[in-house]
Structure 1
């Protein structure tokens, strides 16, 4: 049997070390994940990337769907939580398992169009990028949500920005790209994903913003309600404000024995 030259293999069959890891947290998104994953693979085709699909304790056919997708494309990896732990836990699990230097996140309901991914990763992949830049946060324009959700989000973002000074008008946008090592050094807690700009700034990193598009949910219903988000948001906001106030930064200076003090 003749061996196949690596150059003749399909790009996704050649083992490469990914530069970008796309992490998608999923909870009961069986109807949405196939078209979303297909679009991500198409957008990033030809680049060194992997797609990590994290099933956060789904009760529908999400796990079967993503396992089927992974069998068809080796660029797809599957992680599972046996019990639902929340979006932040799913993102954190994906980032810990990621092999790429850059991690991209987006929601699994199809409301974060993958066409925005290249614009998110570009600042972090630029040859002359500022080494202090660690997060590029998407900022939704033309939101396709109900008026109630838009008003609630506007109020929450205004209050958060006033208390935390994170200079971000839309931290609820799931489209983000960040340096994996810097992210994993942040304090981790439930609902962490809503406060990433403030947490990166707290650790001395720079944050950039990119306007991104928004789309209607492909299928199913949102897992969040305005009241539920408000109740947990108050406690989380107070906790993050405390973390920022308690942060102490030291600038170490290395000296040699010969140099003395």
Structure 2
């Protein structure tokens, strides 16, 4: 089964159409949809309650206060019942049509690969956000050597058991390829095309990311350097 994890905060208007798209994309596949409501103060709860009454495979996980996107993703991962977790943002910019493509890419890559990471083409963000992301990605790629052009894309597929083993910190969701490599697994990529946000504005802004970005980057670099050997582990029985 595939668990689709959608972190969101105050995205009621976008969830109203986004969840229909998720259902259409995942039709015919064993799946569940987990919306992690990160302390929303809008009608997110009402939108989800109405949809859950229809019997769709939808679960509502709620934070009693906003803890950030990374914490919301993590709550969804630990609630997941599927063997693969596919993540996407709740603002409508990620196209759900890529959800099965990411899950299939991860499965086809074999057990040596731990993540299928979306990489955005034709970005629809503001110029300032695009420039800041481009610079951050170049610096990250140079230091972490994670072979990923765009680690900030919300569309990713990861084996659930591996996802739960990754070291957690705020901003963690932007470094998943590097953290997966640290555990001894490879990365595959799927090019995706972003869409414009239909309603509202971003709840996790540039300053929120940039203020801590250098410290986060150094922290992941340190974690990578402190684990140089990942042994294969087998149990040998005697008798």
Structure 1-normalised TM-score? 0.87
The offset of 1:116, in angstroms, is 1.2
Q: Is the 8 A contact 2:117 2:156 kept in 1?
A: yes
In 2, Cα distance between equivalents of 1:152 and 1:194: 14
Q: Find 1:245's aligned residue among 225, 228, 236.
A: 225
In 2, Cα distance between equivalents of 1:256 and 1:131: 24
Alignment coverage as a number of residue pairs: 238
Name stretches of at least 5 consecutive residues in structure 2 with no aligned partner.
none
Equivalent position of 2:81 in the other structure:
99
- Displaced runs of 4 or more, over 3 A: 252-258
For the aligned residue pairs, the C-alpha RMSD in angstroms reads: 1.5
Equivalent position of 2:63 in the other structure:
81
In 2, Cα distance between equivalents of 1:89 and 1:230: 18
Q: Find 2:115's aligned residue among 121, 126, 135.
A: 135
In 2, Cα distance between equivalents of 1:256 and 1:142: 54
Q: Find 2:185's aligned residue among 205, 222, 225.
A: 205
Q: Deviations over 1:125-153 (max 9, x none)?
A: 33xx4211110000000111111111110
Secondary structure of the residue aligned to 1:122 is: helix
Secondary structure of the residue aligned to 2:13 is: coil
The offset of 1:256, in angstroms, is 5.5
Change in Cα spacing, 1:167 to 1:65, as seen in structure 2 (3 Å) is same
User: Are 1:52 and 2:29 matched, yes or no?
Assistant: no
If asked which structure has higher relative contact order (CA below 8 Å, sep 6+), I would say 2
1:17-32 aligned at under 5 Å gives the runs 19-32=1-14
User: Are 1:188 and 2:172 matched, yes or no?
Assistant: no
The offset of 1:203, in angstroms, is 0.6
User: Are 1:152 and 2:132 matched, yes or no?
Assistant: yes
The offset of 1:210, in angstroms, is 0.5
Deviation larger for 182-191 or 224-233: 224-233
Question: Rg larger in 1 or in 2?
Answer: 1
Equivalent position of 2:47 in the other structure:
65
Q: Deviations over 1:49-76 (max 9, x none)?
A: 1111110101111122112211223301
Change in Cα spacing, 1:66 to 1:250, as seen in structure 2 (3 Å) is same
Q: Is the 8 A contact 1:116 1:213 kept in 2?
A: no
Secondary structure of the residue aligned to 1:73 is: coil
User: Are 1:176 and 2:156 matched, yes or no?
Assistant: yes
In 2, Cα distance between equivalents of 1:231 and 1:40: 33
Name stretches of at least 5 consecutive residues in structure 1 with no aligned partner.
1-18
Secondary structure of the residue aligned to 1:131 is: coil
1:206-245 aligned at under 5 Å gives the runs 206-245=186-225
